Structure 1
Amino acid sequence: MKTTDLAAAERIAIRELLGAVNDEMEASVAPEWERAAWDVPRAAFVAERIYLGDELEPCDRANAPEAWLRAVYANDSVVTQVNDGADLGDGDRRASSSASAPSIVFRMLHMLDVRAGLKVLEIGTGTGWNAGLLNHVAGPGNVTTVEVDSKLAAEAAKRLRREGGAAHVVTGDGAEGYAANAPYDRLVSTCSVRSVPRPWVDQVKAGGVILTPWESPWICYGLLRMTVDDMGCASGPFSPYSAFMLMRNQRTDLRIFRDVVRDDHQPDESTTSLPPWRVTGDDLAAQFAMGLQLRDVWWTRQDDPDVDGVASRLWVATTDATSWAAIDWDGESDDRWTVWQHGPRRLWNEVEAAHAWWVLHDRPGPERFGLTVTAKGESAWLETPDRPVPAAG
């Protein structure tokens, strides 16, 4: 395709993308962000090589410009890096950086309430597109963005300079923020966290906003929007519908048979009437509530585990690998499941209690929960800070 044709195709793609974003959002993209979308085109920031499909097959702009452009302007995330930059050729690929779906980008920008002159700290530069959009609205010199991956940071800085952006790109650990340019009016993270880093609260002005994707070991789901007070605390509600890659220094790499279960473990046997899929299935509100209560518990499912009489098995385990439970389904029963538990904690009992609490409180979704961060730690709450969510363990 000729350069002129590609330019025309890009203009059409931007218009169609904004239409798709407007259709998905509750309110239309604000005029200042729509102007930013035109003046800071996404294609100028996405890497020349992206990875498509479940197998993360490489797609190079030079070799497949039309396919590349379609992927860049789809209302979907685009994987821009695998295996933390170590592409293993035909080996297993794991997404390690991506350009977020435009609908969630503009939703978060709306929630952040950025205006001209406000100082903004972004955690997770990635491609640099989000920083470019922020710079367009907040104004030159008001945006600082931190990226842990030095190669990604350098590439983003180059793109921002090329597109006329004046954002300050820093290579460093996003959990530490960037004190040199503090205090900030707004802090936004483009990676999810399991715990809000204390430096974020310290570096935002009283009345300022912190917006970050949230996850627990149980589920990656939700956005947290907190306001900082004049006592150095931050508090605010969750909202649903987001899934981001976890901040690198909060990752865990745990596997049941490598890290948790040992041949000499002698688990206790019992039964349960709680179907495993009630807490691990399509009801994301239930999963979110489990994650808020079971902050150090994760799960994985094993289909056809090669055990007589077991069609599927749900494993739950602590992140310190000291306690686990296995819940077996025989493929036929719909009212009783076999439970095996090992370790100092009875994890399935904790799951049952967490689910019962959620049901008792009318099955609240993420928007009814919130989080408060103080110098002493974090506390989750239901509807108001004086109604704490019970924590297991």
Structure 2
Amino acid sequence: MTVGTALLRARLDEAMVARGAWPERSPWLREAVAALPREEFAPDRLWRWDGRAYVPVDRRADPDGWARELYGEQDAAAVTQVTGGLPSSSLSAQGVVVDMLDSLLLEPGHRVWDIGTGQGWNAALAAWRAGPGRVVSTEVDAGLAAFARGRLAAAGLRVAVVVADATATVPDVPVDRLIATYAVERVPWSWVAAVRPGGRLVVPWGRLGHVALDVGDDHRQASGWVQGLAQFMADRTAGPVPAGGHAGYAAVRGTGAPETKRVVERDLAPLADDWDLRFALRVAVPEAAVVTGTDEDGVSAWVHDADRSWAALSAVGDGTVTMYQAGPRRIGDELMAAWAQWEGLGRPGPYDYGMTVRPDGQFVWLHDPVDGPRWPAAGAEAAGGPAR
């Protein structure tokens, strides 16, 4: 029996209603998604993880499977391109797309810069709201750009799709709104400069969530709060992404022996499932990649900085762990100190954090951009001083 995209699309709509995921302040989004259904921007081949590798799901050979990849869950992206065995482009999860466009506070007539065209669906939804000729979209992959142009034209939308690196090329005129669909470790100041004073940017940061930044009237900074949590594709122009999981840890550790060993009196279970903690650690020690595993002794963790420093925290079975470390920095000690700091700050959640971007640096802050604790963004000193 063929399920069909229409039924699955209706079920996804109902699931979003049940969860309250259609934002009240942006009722236009539900209308736009209905008018521009996701399948109109999906290629005929999608990719599914089978537990070992990404395998193709073709629309003609497996129409039901293809439809389920698109509409199975509101929080699941549909992988549209695989390069070197890893996803390199996707149709972002419908719930995430809606959440980010809601955060953009988009109004008719706004001029919009959409960064990372992909298949063109995000640009299409923005154009539905902003109006004809009000959206310019940048895509570094010429093949994806051509695909998106075709789908946008078929939908009757006038969107300019430009093949370019968005970190080096900006629109000719200032925009009112900027939205990126891939994650950056640092928000380029050129993006802020491209947005008029009083405008807004919505940008995925650190592959964990997205922030909404309001550009100051003096155009000297952009600042705002974390808006949502999700994992995003990485910036292709930033170079290859270090291997994840145990492979990434093994590549950094190599065959070297530990340089230090000590007992840590802490149960590591929250590292596996407490996303408030994981987000806080990502803020405080942005270079730390953390992998966890569980056996009869409890949760163990393996940490590295994608360079030369690593730590192995091995559960003993009595609520403590033995930590082994090596490398130029003690990445495990840094992680434990950040964990203790988070507890001392009252265990804040992701929505208690925000970000400020200035020409000379950027930082993440807690509760208040002026008086709250702050941490420098990855790879840069914070404007206004180090973490405090």
Do both share a fold (TM > 0.5)?
yes
**In 2, Cα distance between the equivalents of 1:344 and 1:32?**
52
Distance 1:383 1:82, change over 3 A: same
Given that 1:379 and 1:388 are in contact with CA atoms closer than 8 Å, whether structure 2 keeps it comes out as no
Please name the residue that 2:19 is paired with. Answer: 24
Query: Is 1:15 the equivalent of 2:10?
Result: yes
Query: Is 1:47 the equivalent of 2:39?
Result: no
Distance 1:311 1:365, change over 3 A: closer
TM superposition shift of 1:277? 3.3
Given that 1:45 and 1:128 are in contact with CA atoms closer than 8 Å, whether structure 2 keeps it comes out as yes
Structure 2 portions without partners, runs of 5+? 377-385
TM superposition shift of 1:72? 2.2
**In 2, Cα distance between the equivalents of 1:13 and 1:266?**
52
* 1:366-381 pair list within 5 angstroms: 366-381=350-365
Distance 1:302 1:363, change over 3 A: closer
Please name the residue that 1:222 is paired with. Answer: 209
Please name the residue that 1:236 is paired with. Answer: 224
2:195 pairs with one of 192, 196, 204: 204
* 1:10-159 pair list within 5 angstroms: 10-28=5-23, 30-54=26-50, 55-74=53-72, 75=74, 76-83=76-83, 93-159=85-151
- Specify the code of the residue in structure 2 equivalent to 1:363: R
Q: SS of the counterpart of 2:136?
A: strand
2:318 pairs with one of 328, 333, 337: 333
**In 2, Cα distance between the equivalents of 1:329 and 1:240?**
32
- Specify the code of the residue in structure 2 equivalent to 1:79: V
**In 2, Cα distance between the equivalents of 1:26 and 1:252?**
31
Deviations along 1:177-214, whole A, 9 cap, x unmatched? x4233311111111122111121111111111111122
TM superposition shift of 1:53? 3.8
TM superposition shift of 1:355? 0.8
TM superposition shift of 1:32? 2.3
* 1:290-369 pair list within 5 angstroms: 290-301=281-292, 313-319=300-306, 321-330=307-316, 332-334=317-319, 336-369=320-353
Structure 1 portions without partners, runs of 5+? 87-92
Given that 2:182 and 2:234 are in contact with CA atoms closer than 8 Å, whether structure 1 keeps it comes out as yes
Q: SS of the counterpart of 2:229?
A: coil
Deviations along 1:220-263, whole A, 9 cap, x unmatched? 422211101123311111134322112123353242333x2244
Query: Is 1:271 the equivalent of 2:263?
Result: yes
Please name the residue that 1:90 is paired with. Answer: none
Please name the residue that 1:89 is paired with. Answer: none
Percent sequence identity over matched residues? 32
Given that 2:45 and 2:59 are in contact with CA atoms closer than 8 Å, whether structure 1 keeps it comes out as yes
Distance 1:317 1:31, change over 3 A: closer
- Specify the code of the residue in structure 2 equivalent to 1:160: L
- Specify the code of the residue in structure 1 equivalent to 2:67: L
Deviations along 1:60-98, whole A, 9 cap, x unmatched? 112222332333233332111111xx6xxxxxx322211
**In 2, Cα distance between the equivalents of 1:356 and 1:70?**
43
Given that 1:25 and 1:107 are in contact with CA atoms closer than 8 Å, whether structure 2 keeps it comes out as no
TM superposition shift of 1:128? 0.7
**In 2, Cα distance between the equivalents of 1:64 and 1:289?**
42
Q: TM-score, normalised by structure 2?
A: 0.86
Q: How many pairs align?
A: 366
Please name the residue that 1:283 is paired with. Answer: 274
**In 1, Cα distance between the equivalents of 2:9 and 2:146?**
26
Please name the residue that 2:236 is paired with. Answer: 248
Please name the residue that 1:179 is paired with. Answer: 170
Please name the residue that 2:374 is paired with. Answer: 389
- Specify the code of the residue in structure 1 equivalent to 2:289: W
Given that 2:282 and 2:288 are in contact with CA atoms closer than 8 Å, whether structure 1 keeps it comes out as yes
Q: TM-score, normalised by structure 1?
A: 0.85
Deviations along 1:10-44, whole A, 9 cap, x unmatched? 44444333222222335556442233223222111
Q: SS of the counterpart of 1:225?
A: strand
**In 2, Cα distance between the equivalents of 1:28 and 1:194?**
28
TM superposition shift of 1:296? 1.8
Please name the residue that 2:379 is paired with. Answer: none
Q: SS of the counterpart of 1:269?
A: strand
Distance 1:180 1:314, change over 3 A: same
Deviations along 1:97-130, whole A, 9 cap, x unmatched? 1111111111111111111110111111111111
Distance 1:284 1:300, change over 3 A: same
Q: SS of the counterpart of 1:68?
A: helix
Query: Is 1:190 the equivalent of 2:181?
Result: yes
Distance 1:325 1:13, change over 3 A: closer
